[in-house]
Amino acid sequence: MRLAGLAVATWLAALAGLHLTAGASVLLAAVAAGAAGVAALHLLGVLGRPCGPARRYGWIAVAVLLGVVCGAAATAARLSVRDAGPVRALVEERAVVTAELVVRDDPRPVRGGTGRPATVLVAAELTRFTGPDGRRVAAPARVLVLASDPGWRGLLPGQRLTAEGRLTAPRGGDLTAAVLSAAGPPSPQGVAPSPQRAAGSLRAGLQRACSPLPDEQGGLLPGLVVGDTSRLPPAVEQDFLATGMTHLNAVSGSNVAIVVGAVLLLARWARAGPWLAVGLCGLALVGFVILVRPSPSVVRAATMGAIGLVGLAAGRPRAALPALSAGVTVLVLSDPELAGDAGFALSVLATGGLLLLAPRWRDGLRNRGVPAGFAEALAVPAAAQLACAPVVAGISGTVSLVAVPANLLAVPAIAPATVLGVLAAAVSPWWSAGAEFIAWLASWPAWWLVMVARHGARLPAGTLPWPGGVTGALLLAGLTVALLVAARHPVVRRLVAVVVVAVLVGTLPVRLAAPGWPPAGWVVAACAVGQGDTVVLPVAAGRAVVVDAGPDPAAADGCLRRLGVREVALLVVSHFHVDHIGGVAGVFRGRRVGAVLTPRWSEPAAGREQVHSEAAAHSVRVVAGEAGWRYREGGVEFTIIGPPQPLRGTRSDPNNNSLILLATVAGVRILLAGDAETEEQRALLDSTPRGGLRAEVLKVAHHGSAYQDPAFLDAVRPLVALVPVGAGNAYGHPNPAVLERLSRGGARVLRTDTQGDAAAVLLGRAGLAVATRGTGPGRQP
């Protein structure tokens, strides 16, 4: 208990210190040191002699106070380096510098965007820099590099380089001293260390071996094996988060145990002695850590593995909880930034759940007649999920009800996928065909994991809304602890079981029979997909026309799931900016798409290529439309009315060549304006007869930006104005003056950033109404 108290206090003090200044952390350490000294003197009898129980718990309190001292002091030392004068002054000036860097981790792509070149994030250590005045200054500090040049993508950890860029302020909450926006490619200074080059070769080999596989298995397998999620489809990532399986996307203690356990089994099969077996396991452990990179969860798992190997060699039983506590303390003191890492928290909490809860639950189930193997299979995922639930709830804003069964179903596939994936990576530099065959074998257990996550995420009432952030995590943690303490009494256990069954029996049939969304009689819906557009027109039950796919596949897929769209009659792409096509894979996911309609304007080329590639992968026809193109099916008909002619030399040619659709659904006229700005709006006004733009519903152009022609808005005169826009976007969307003009004209304005999914509904003789789903998960209209 003293070690556990020391570890938890060190962790929390370091976490608090990351959000404080160095001076505040020093003050916290000093206060805790004084309190620890007073308590220790009291316990030693200098200030009185406490009784037995008070003495025992008193030393635990001293250990907690010492943990606060250690955590706060270590964090203060790192903060003083982070906030050093030279770097801080240049950050405030947003100065352009030439920096000498050491890469700390693999470059990570940034998803989303608005048509700009793909950006990567590179964590690096700044060694020295040359300021605007030409002076070279040594400044050891952590920086985060934002770069779009392709030269940054192939860098390896440990590699030294120089780069020029502008320094800006970081977001805070970690040890990053500055963000360097790189203006061009890096200039490597030598090569990366040989172990990292070898690891890079193996990781690249695994990616090559997985490239012939389907996107879902091919993207998941490197994540399972080495923590490389660069190719993982966002929709799969979202499913894993919804089902509580997100820990599988990062390398953790289970991966280390699988790899080391496989080596140990081989050593025992070969009748190797204890020390030889430990040596082989140690080599496998070191090699695996280098291969997957020393991420927080991997470092924690490797530390625990090393302690276990020492215990194995010494022939003594492993004291797992003290080892975990000591490992957490040492790791947080060596790098206080780990205290704020969600992956590190999930890894430690999962291990703690396995150590503290799983054995008791397993034994309790066995005492009640449950077979040993089944009791172990139930207790392990349940304990790990319960321990991790507060952090997952804080991250996702939901509580998963399917996490335990999903993780239970996933157990048989994890070990074969991991072992085969490591084997594919190991042989890839010398035998590419063999690596591809092994990766193909590994894709089958990976396929099973994808299916479990997909179907678990689609279950009705599979997730419940919960407050997000620190508040939600602490609330669920408090409820969990209270429930565990109270459940030790048989009466409380029976009461909890009755309440849970009553809630499920009372709510699940309602959710199955009347999910509440979409509302009856809906004619158009704009989904909350972030800073982007996804608009849906219902053709028939389960079938719809989808206009644009938003910036994220998971968001687009979730939008169509909520609306019950199982088949897309036509996918319309208004233009090729990423905030309208980035989620196109989510539209195709698990659905048949009849055809894809695109504009003739082909810029940006990267967006056009993404749409055409996705359509080709599913053998779907792509049609280029222009003014006058008509479509009719079921309850939907529309005509392309803009652009009346190609527009060049405008503020944004892709925006001003957006397809503008005038649709009719159940007699309701709907104008979908894409991202048309003033130039296209004026051209449309000039080419359309008076009254030709009148519509009851307007999808406001370009997220309600300021680039709206007042005469265009007056010509439409909508009753309902839908504004798809992302919360807290950096573009100032939507423009208040535009919203005010629409409201003055009699329109009911619905914004997806504040009201969530929004729909226009036809209520028969009552006319047009609106419904919103709310911004929180699971909110109903």
pLDDT in tens, 686-714: 888 888 899 999 999 999 999 999 999 99
Closest CA to 634 of 561, 567, 706: 567
139 vs 437 pLDDT, higher one = 437
Separation CA 145–CA 124 (nearest Å) = 7
Tell me what pLDDT residue 455 has. Answer: 80
531 vs 232 pLDDT, higher one = 531
Which of 104-118, 186-200, 420-434 shows the lowest mean pLDDT across its residues? 104-118
Q: In the chain, count of helices (H) and strands (E)?
A: 27, 25
Instruction: List beta partners, residue 769.
Output: 761
Name the percent of the chain lying above pLDDT 70: 85
Closest CA to 636 of 658, 661, 657: 661
How sure is the predictor about 330, in pLDDT bands with cuts at 50, 70 and 90?
confident
Examine the pLDDT at 667 and tell me if it is beyond 80. yes
* Model confidence pLDDT, tens digit, residues 10-23: 988 888 888 888 88
* Model confidence pLDDT, tens digit, residues 99-119: 999 988 878 776 443 334 467
Q: What is the mean pLDDT of the chain?
A: 81
Instruction: Write the CB contacts of 446 (distance below 8 Å, at least 6 apart in sequence).
Output: 216, 217, 220, 221, 224, 413, 417
Assign residue 398 a region (left: φ > 0; alpha: ψ between -120 and 50; beta: otherwise). Answer: beta
Which of 18-22, 65-69, 205-209, 394-398 shows the lowest mean pLDDT across its residues? 394-398
Integer angstrom CA distances of residue 365 from 371, 373, 440: 8, 11, 38
How sure is the predictor about 317, in pLDDT bands with cuts at 50, 70 and 90?
very low
Radius of gyration over alpha carbons of the chain, in Å? 29
Which of 42-56, 94-108, 295-309, 383-397 shows the lowest mean pLDDT across its residues? 295-309
Which of 32-46, 444-458, 655-669 shows the lowest mean pLDDT across its residues? 32-46
* Model confidence pLDDT, tens digit, residues 233-248: 766 776 787 777 776 7
Tell me what pLDDT residue 113 has. Answer: 39
Closest CA to 104 of 300, 337, 390, 286: 337
The secondary structure of residue 706, as a DSSP letter, is S
* Report for 52-56, 160-164, 266-270, 513-517: range of highest mean pLDDT: 160-164
How sure is the predictor about 641, in pLDDT bands with cuts at 50, 70 and 90?
very high
Closest CA to 300 of 615, 11, 573: 11
Work out the average pLDDT over 221-230.
78
Instruction: Write the CB contacts of 649 (distance below 8 Å, at least 6 apart in sequence).
Output: none
How sure is the predictor about 512, in pLDDT bands with cuts at 50, 70 and 90?
very low
Tell me what pLDDT residue 437 has. Answer: 94
User: Do residues 704 and 675 touch, judged by C-beta distance below 8 A?
Assistant: no
Tell me what pLDDT residue 412 has. Answer: 80
Tell me what pLDDT residue 93 has. Answer: 84
DSSP SS3 for 297? helix
* Model confidence pLDDT, tens digit, residues 235-286: 677 678 777 777 676 665 566 666 776 777 777 777 777 677 777 777 777 7
Tell me what pLDDT residue 532 has. Answer: 92
Separation CA 126–CA 99 (nearest Å) = 7
Separation CA 618–CA 611 (nearest Å) = 11
Q: Is 515 exposed, middle or buried (0-12, 13-18, 19+ CB in 10 A)?
A: middle
Examine the pLDDT at 619 and tell me if it is beyond 70. yes
Tell me what pLDDT residue 538 has. Answer: 93
* Model confidence pLDDT, tens digit, residues 134-179: 888 888 888 989 888 888 887 888 889 999 988 888 877 788 888 8
Integer angstrom CA distances of residue 373 from 192, 195, 378, 745: 46, 40, 9, 68
Position 581, amino acid: I
Strands 176-182 and 136-147: parallel
474 vs 467 pLDDT, higher one = 474
Phi, psi (deg, nearest 5) at residue 318: -80, 120
Examine the pLDDT at 33 and tell me if it is beyond 80. yes
Examine the pLDDT at 349 and tell me if it is beyond 70. yes
Place of tokens 């063999």: 434
Closest CA to 493 of 484, 502, 506, 504: 484
Terminal Cα distance for the chain, rounded: 49
Tell me what pLDDT residue 114 has. Answer: 35
Separation CA 781–CA 778 (nearest Å) = 10
Say how many CA atoms lie within 13 Å of 554 toward its Cβ.
17
- Read off the pTM: 0.61
